[in-house]
Amino acid sequence: MSISLAASIIVAIPLGVLAFLWPRPGQIILAVVAVIYTIPSLALLVFMIPLLGIGTLPAIVALFLYGLLPIVRNTHAGLSGIPPGLRESAIVLGLSPGARLLKIELPLAAPSILAGIKTAAVINVGTATIGALIGAGGYGQSILTGIRLADYRLILLGAVPAAILALMVQGGFGLLERRVVPHGLRIKSRG
């Protein structure tokens, strides 16, 4: 799971930046990752079998692909949401486009980007259990075996730790956001 999430982050943030910097190709980037995300997880895993075989690798690739949309979209949205006055101030200061991106725009977009990464991580945990269908193992293996044997204890043996892991990932990213993102830039939760 961590491998696929790391790969998603490495690929998706630059794609989100490209989608922001070049709006016309950016719409294509956003559309492609959205289409990938709409493919049902089981179907995507099955599509991976002829390409990558059975086991962990196709599950990692599928999880990587599922992690792209939230990160790309949130990176794009975070950069698009920066007030024009802040950009103009950076231009007036004489910052190059690269310096503006690295020193002003990406830090200001960090709360949105982090929210996308958190969403991708939670999706990763949930979808990873389905990877057992193609031999990837993990908590999904107990769930599948429990279903086949009609053994609720086995089902819970896989489902409960997977749910706890998802909650821990969600909580961990909440703590990370408090440490990394200044209070005034945090995304306000609705509720």
Average pLDDT, consecutive stretches of 10 residues, N- to C-terminus, the chain (191 residues): 91 96 94 93 86 88 93 96 87 88 90 92 86 78 86 89 89 83 62 43
Rounded Cα gap, residues 182 and 142, in angstroms: 41
pLDDT at 42: 84
In this structure, are residues 87 and 42 in contact, taking their beta carbons and an 8 Å threshold? no
What pLDDT shows up at residue 6? 94
Residue 166 lies in a domain: yes
Structure confidence at residue 191 (pLDDT)? 43
Q: Which residue from 67, 7, 47, 65 is spatially nearest to 134, judged by alpha carbons?
A: 47
Tell me whether residue 187 is in a domain.
Answer: no
pLDDT in tens, 83-133: 888 888 888 888 888 889 998 899 889 989 999 999 999 988 888 888 887
Torsion on CA atoms 78, 80, 86, 92, rounded to nearest 10: 130
Tell me whether residue 50 is in a domain: yes
In a domain, 172, yes or no: yes
| 38 inside domain | yes
- What CATH number is associated with residue 84? 1.10.3720.10
Entry pTM = 0.84
Predicted pLDDT at 126: 82
Which pLDDT belongs to residue 61? 92
Q: Could you list the residue range(s) of the whole structural domain that residue 60 is in? A: 2-181
Q: Rounded mean pLDDT of the chain? A: 88
The token duo for 122 is 């939670």
CA–CA distance, 30 with 140 (Å, rounded to integer) = 30
**Cα–Cα distance measured from residue 129 to residue 136, given in angstroms and rounded to the nearest whole number:** 9
Tally of domains within the chain? 1
Is 189 within a domain? no
Q: Torsion-angle region of residue 186: left (phi > 0), alpha (psi -120 to 50) or beta?
A: beta
**CA-CA distances (angstroms) from residue 77 to 111, 120, 158?**
11, 15, 36
